[in-house]
Chain A
Amino acid sequence: MPADASIHLFLLLWALGVLLISGVASALAGRWSERTSVVLGIAGAGMACLAGLAAAVAGLTARATGTIMLPWRIPYGAFSLGLDSLSAFFLIPLFLLSGLAAVFASGYFRPWNERNPGRFWLFYNLLVASMALVVLARNGVLFLVAWEAMSLASFFLVTFDDRAADAREAGWIYLVATHVGTAFLIAVFILLGRESGSQEFSAYAVPAGSAGALFLLGLLGFGTKAGLFPLHVWLPEAHPAAPSPVSAVMSGVMIKTGIYGIVRMLAVMGAVPGWCAWLVLAIGAVSGVLGVLFALAQHDLKRLLAYHSVENVGIITLGLGLGMLGVHYGIPAVAALGFAGGLLHVLNHALFKGLLFLGAGAVAHATGTRDIERLGGLLKRMPWTGAAFLAGAVAICGLPPFNGFASEFLIYVGAFRTLLANGGLALGGLVAVVALALIGGLAAACFAKAFGIVFQGEPRSPAAAAAHEVPRSLVAPMLVLAALCLAIGLGAGAVVRALDPAVAQLAGPIVMSDAPRGIFPIALGTVLALLVALTLALAWIRRRLLAGRSVRAAVTWDCGYAAPTASMQYTATGFAQPLTNGAWAILQPHVEARLPQGVFPVSASFESHAPDVARANLYDPLFRRLAVGLGWFRWLQQGQVHWYVLYIVVVLMVLLAWALVS
């Protein structure tokens, strides 16, 4: 029985208010007291996230729905907020990860190095508030305002370290990309609201025959934010440039607002043509495979993680595509499994990618570098960070018993169910299955590399050798996230059941004749529990067997060579080389090699970089041409204010005349 959501909405509004006020207060306080500013910022973020999380969880479990409308004097605009299962579900990872990342940030920036902490907290809290507003908005104008506030707040966070040239460059790329995306969204909202003349979501109507074109426009706009290939170019620039807790929030939650947009669009528009479903499926598969392939070729830990966001958004989109196919072909089981898998992966990706970005931040904090080739042996020096990172790595590879497996399992089963049909639909299922398996294999390779080279073996640089475990305020959020990853993995059945109303909003009522107790098999949980129990039992047996026997320590066995050095170890480049070489045509890496020559080679070097293929082959040429084309209008730019005012006057007069004449 759906409950009334006004109390939840009230709590959420309160959280938004706290975020705004604490952000502004922190910024004001930052001028005279660093300490007060930080305390204000973190206290506001913490309180708001706790309240918001409570409201969202309660709203989802009670299936609360409701809307409120506050007066707002903007043409077509209304401050109308609504909560339903879909919004409540997206709010859970949002407040959870934002809160934990805020705790991480409070320790991460110490010392602040003369940077005003108020600037960080203002934009951080503003980002969290605007993301929540995007998810709650039920009016097109309000949505766009929140969307824009979110983009701007995150832009200022990306460029927080504005003394670094690469951060400014990354911020610029991000700003351009996100506004191109927003332009598409404005078009979508105008078209949707044209018929009724109202920008309320509830009044939206799809002009006859244009559902497909509208969906495509929306996919372009929201896909840019979500980071779908080939609209992902800003992601590998902005994520590494931003401070780690911000990267965690941006990658874990903010890009999911793009997914939320697509999902909300589906819910608002109702039926979309079948080719849209196929398109979404194909984009998901391509993003997934290419994202992880690009990740494999990276040496910068955070850049690697950023490409994994492209991969995971691809997996989510693959699930949504399957769900849309299920709706289109009238197979409720496929629809339910696809949407449930996609939505669950939204939550899961927020958890493990947040964890991994925080882990990368901890590594950078302890060693001062994100270059994988200069790290190594950190598991001994940072045991907690290492263990949490390993949990995140296993989870992101989709391996049991962690949470990544649960969502990929649902998508897999959805794809296998389409295989029971014949013809084209089954082919779609085969593509999804093979793409998921390929993504899984490549992700395992990539994280074997990331974990193995960064945390295992011997340190490859003095900085890595001198690393120490990060302070408790940094470790605690990571451990919480790791524990949540395992808990959702083992208790996926309950989580999926809680998700049912959100899935039903997209897939219709969930009817599964062969799985009456929900779409997630209970026996799966049993096997996973068995796996954990077996591992513990084996550990105990091993302990008993070794008790009382000699256990000695020695050097690693290297064919009798007893003086190994750190530089003899495999490098990240070398580890991934067989795969990156195989995908040469796709990755197009730049390689500079000075190979050893002669009988007694003196020095040799090998360097490879994998620049973004979409950027190098699509956007850079496009923007170069654009710059040339727009060069024609350069005479308009006189650099004098009078001229600009004159332009405004002329345009105003022409518009006025046109309006009055016609």
Chain B
Amino acid sequence: MNAASSLHPVLALLLAPLLPGVINRIKALFGGRRGPPLLQLYFDLWKLFRKGAVYSRTTTWVFRAGPLVNFACLVAALALLPLGRVAAPVSFAGDLVLLAYLLGLGRFATVAAALDTGSSFEGMGASREVQFAVFAEPALLAGLAALAHATQSLSLSGMYAAWPAATLPVLALLGAGLFILFLAENCRMPVDDPNTHLELTMIHEVMVLDHGGVDFGFVLWGSALKLWVLGALLAGLLPPPATGHPLADLAVGAGWLLALAAATGAVESVMARVRLLRVPQLLVGAGVLCALGLLLTFR
């Protein structure tokens, strides 16, 4: 563990809100608009953290705990997360399972908070969220399994320590699978439309309709962090091998994340949302790509 390793979680907390800004700027570029400022989410967070709150009379402490638990899960996940060639502060054999299950706990907390309102809209969002998670989780673990086999390592930091020594087709398959998961888990375009104003078509946005003020601030910051966490799993697959300078590695990793955000913006600009019934197929497809990657590495 070195300085860059311990710097990464702090960097992630501070820089994550930049990613949605980049996505929105790219979308504005495609749409020929000027778009919101790059730092819009920072302004929003500043505003939200100084607000009071309005709670539904139906809700209980579970509703208030939801965003906090989700945020805590993502911060804890940062402790396990390598970025590019920079190792994570904590790593052990099987840390990838803990990472996946921390994301799962965050999701469970969000879903429980949504159901706490008794609103049919939020029930709908929660129902969809858990449905898609059923397909997303095996896909994510299949992808990590393929990486474990290809790199003969059981910890995330070990897997990404060097540029994964797999053949190009394998890397391409895994990259494609993880990119679909990245879009789906972050409720981006082909799965969920973050810009829609129709509650019936939302997934993630509709689950947090009732949150406001500080709680909503944590929700938004948490979503940005989730972009960072899943993006980092993908960024580690991308080229340069370790440069030898930890800080340079960190900069490269952060650069890839910004590029990933730009790519997401581009995808969102040119793609329509698939029908809800098609989403499981898309996610199973992502899992299939990952599993195929694993099968190809058997020799």
Direct A–B contact in complex, judged by CB atoms less than 8 Å apart = yes
Chain B residues lying within 8 Å of A442, measured Cβ to Cβ, are 134
Question: Is B97 positioned at the interface, with any CB of A under 8 Å from its CB?
Answer: yes
Q: How far is the CA of A157 from the CA of B51 in the complex (A)?
A: 57
Nearest chain B residue, comparing its CB with the CB of A376: B118
Chain B residues lying within 8 Å of A553, measured Cβ to Cβ, are 54-57
Known: A413-B93, A448-B111, A535-B69. A456 touches B53 (CB 8 A): no
B106-152 contacts to A, CB under 8 A, are 107-108, 111-112, 115-121, 123-124, 126-128, 130-131, 133-138, 140-142, 145, 148-149, 152
Question: Is A79 positioned at the interface, with any CB of B under 8 Å from its CB?
Answer: no
Question: Is A93 positioned at the interface, with any CB of B under 8 Å from its CB?
Answer: no
- Check B56–A440 contact: CB distance below 8 A: no
| A489 → B minimal CB distance (Å) | 11
Nearest chain B residue, comparing its CB with the CB of A569: B118
Partner of B52, one of A417, A449, A549, A577: A549
Q: How far is the CA of A452 from the CA of B93 in the complex (A)?
A: 34
- Check B108–A399 contact: CB distance below 8 A: yes
- Check B55–A400 contact: CB distance below 8 A: no
Chain B residues lying within 8 Å of A566, measured Cβ to Cβ, are 118
Partner of A554, one of B56, B107, B299: B56
Chain B residues lying within 8 Å of A530, measured Cβ to Cβ, are 76, 79
Question: Is A294 positioned at the interface, with any CB of B under 8 Å from its CB?
Answer: no
B191-210 contacts to A, CB under 8 A, are 199, 209-210
A: interface residue count bin? 35 or more
B31-77 contacts to A, CB under 8 A, are 49-60, 62, 64-65, 68-69, 71-73, 75-76
Question: Is A273 positioned at the interface, with any CB of B under 8 Å from its CB?
Answer: no
Known: A405-B101, A457-B117, A551-B53. A445 touches B80 (CB 8 A): no
- Check B134–A542 contact: CB distance below 8 A: no
Q: How far is the CA of A521 from the CA of B100 in the complex (A)?
A: 17
Question: Is B246 positioned at the interface, with any CB of A under 8 Å from its CB?
Answer: no
Chain A residues lying within 8 Å of B182, measured Cβ to Cβ, are none
- Check B135–A441 contact: CB distance below 8 A: yes
Nearest chain B residue, comparing its CB with the CB of A444: B108
Q: How far is the CA of A386 from the CA of B60 in the complex (A)?
A: 11
| A385 → B minimal CB distance (Å) | 13
Question: Is A160 positioned at the interface, with any CB of B under 8 Å from its CB?
Answer: no
| A298 → B minimal CB distance (Å) | 16
- Check B97–A412 contact: CB distance below 8 A: yes
| B257 → A minimal CB distance (Å) | 22
- Check B142–A426 contact: CB distance below 8 A: no
Q: How far is the CA of A523 from the CA of B148 in the complex (A)?
A: 19
- Check A521–B92 contact: CB distance below 8 A: yes
Known: A420-B148, A453-B115. A531 touches B76 (CB 8 A): yes
Known: A530-B76, A531-B76. A379 touches B98 (CB 8 A): no
Nearest chain A residue, comparing its CB with the CB of B90: A523
- Check A531–B137 contact: CB distance below 8 A: no
Partner of A416, one of B62, B111, B119, B145: B145
Chain A residues lying within 8 Å of B116, measured Cβ to Cβ, are 379, 452, 456-457
Stretch at the interface among B20-28, B160-168, B211-219, B259-267: B211-219
| B49 → A minimal CB distance (Å) | 6
Question: Is B154 positioned at the interface, with any CB of A under 8 Å from its CB?
Answer: yes
- Check A412–B133 contact: CB distance below 8 A: no
Question: Is B102 positioned at the interface, with any CB of A under 8 Å from its CB?
Answer: yes
Q: How far is the CA of A81 from the CA of B123 in the complex (A)?
A: 54
Known: A515-B93, A538-B71. A419 touches B145 (CB 8 A): yes
- Check A570–B120 contact: CB distance below 8 A: yes
- Check B54–A549 contact: CB distance below 8 A: no
Chain A residues lying within 8 Å of B215, measured Cβ to Cβ, are 542
| A550 → B minimal CB distance (Å) | 4
| A483 → B minimal CB distance (Å) | 18
| B109 → A minimal CB distance (Å) | 9
Question: Is A661 positioned at the interface, with any CB of B under 8 Å from its CB?
Answer: no
- Check B131–A413 contact: CB distance below 8 A: no
Chain A residues lying within 8 Å of B60, measured Cβ to Cβ, are 379-380, 386, 456
| A521 → B minimal CB distance (Å) | 4
B205-243 contacts to A, CB under 8 A, are 209-210, 213-215, 218
| B267 → A minimal CB distance (Å) | 25
Chain A residues lying within 8 Å of B126, measured Cβ to Cβ, are 448, 452, 570, 575
- Check B145–A429 contact: CB distance below 8 A: yes
A404-420 contacts to B, CB under 8 A, are 405, 409, 412-413, 416-417, 419-420
Question: Is B280 positioned at the interface, with any CB of A under 8 Å from its CB?
Answer: yes
Q: How far is the CA of A437 from the CA of B294 in the complex (A)?
A: 16
Total A-B residue contacts, Cβ distance less than 8 Å: 255
Known: A549-B52, A578-B128. A521 touches B58 (CB 8 A): no
| A319 → B minimal CB distance (Å) | 14
| A488 → B minimal CB distance (Å) | 16
Stretch at the interface among A224-232, A236-244, A557-565, A588-596: A557-565
- Check B214–A556 contact: CB distance below 8 A: no
- Check B124–A570 contact: CB distance below 8 A: yes
Known: A564-B119, A574-B127. A542 touches B55 (CB 8 A): no
- Check B97–A568 contact: CB distance below 8 A: no
- Check B131–A579 contact: CB distance below 8 A: yes
Of B55, B102, B119, B152, most buried by chain A (CB within 10 Å of CB) is B119
| A464 → B minimal CB distance (Å) | 12
Q: How far is the CA of A434 from the CA of B134 in the complex (A)?
A: 11
Known: A452-B115, A523-B90. A538 touches B72 (CB 8 A): yes
- Check B72–A535 contact: CB distance below 8 A: yes
Nearest chain A residue, comparing its CB with the CB of B94: A413
Partner of A557, one of B96, B105, B119, B127: B119
- Check A451–B148 contact: CB distance below 8 A: no
Question: Is B19 positioned at the interface, with any CB of A under 8 Å from its CB?
Answer: no
- Check A556–B210 contact: CB distance below 8 A: yes
Question: Is B91 positioned at the interface, with any CB of A under 8 Å from its CB?
Answer: yes
Partner of B92, one of A377, A400, A524, A534: A524
- Check A458–B209 contact: CB distance below 8 A: no
- Check A417–B72 contact: CB distance below 8 A: no
- Check B76–A438 contact: CB distance below 8 A: no
Stretch at the interface among A250-258, A263-271, A390-398: A390-398
Known: A456-B62, A514-B93. A556 touches B118 (CB 8 A): yes
Known: A397-B104, A534-B72, A556-B58. A438 touches B134 (CB 8 A): yes
Known: A441-B137, A574-B127. A523 touches B111 (CB 8 A): no
- Check A377–B58 contact: CB distance below 8 A: yes
Of B123, B133, B209, most buried by chain A (CB within 10 Å of CB) is B123
Of B60, B94, B214, most buried by chain A (CB within 10 Å of CB) is B94
- Check A452–B137 contact: CB distance below 8 A: no
Question: Is B250 positioned at the interface, with any CB of A under 8 Å from its CB?
Answer: no
- Check B115–A437 contact: CB distance below 8 A: no
Nearest chain A residue, comparing its CB with the CB of B119: A556
| B76 → A minimal CB distance (Å) | 4
Chain A residues lying within 8 Å of B142, measured Cβ to Cβ, are 430, 433-434, 437
**Could you list some 27 contacts between A and B, CB below 8 A?**
A394-B105, A409-B101, A412-B94, A413-B94, A413-B97, A419-B294, A422-B298, A426-B298, A433-B138, A433-B142, A434-B138, A434-B142, A437-B137, A438-B137, A522-B92, A531-B72, A534-B72, A545-B50, A545-B214, A549-B51, A551-B55, A552-B52, A557-B56, A569-B119, A578-B128, A578-B131, A582-B280
Chain B residues in the interface with A (C-beta under 8 A): 49-60, 62, 64-65, 68-69, 71-73, 75-76, 79-80, 90-98, 100-102, 104-105, 107-108, 111-112, 115-121, 123-124, 126-128, 130-131, 133-138, 140-142, 145, 148-149, 152, 154, 199, 209-210, 213-215, 218, 280, 287, 291, 294, 298-299
Known: A531-B76, A546-B214. 11 other contacts (CB 8 A): A380-B60, A386-B60, A399-B101, A531-B73, A539-B68, A549-B52, A554-B57, A555-B57, A555-B58, A568-B120, A578-B128
Q: Which 6 residue pairs across A and B have the least CB separation, nearest first?
A: A570-B123, A452-B115, A457-B118, A549-B52, A445-B130, A441-B134
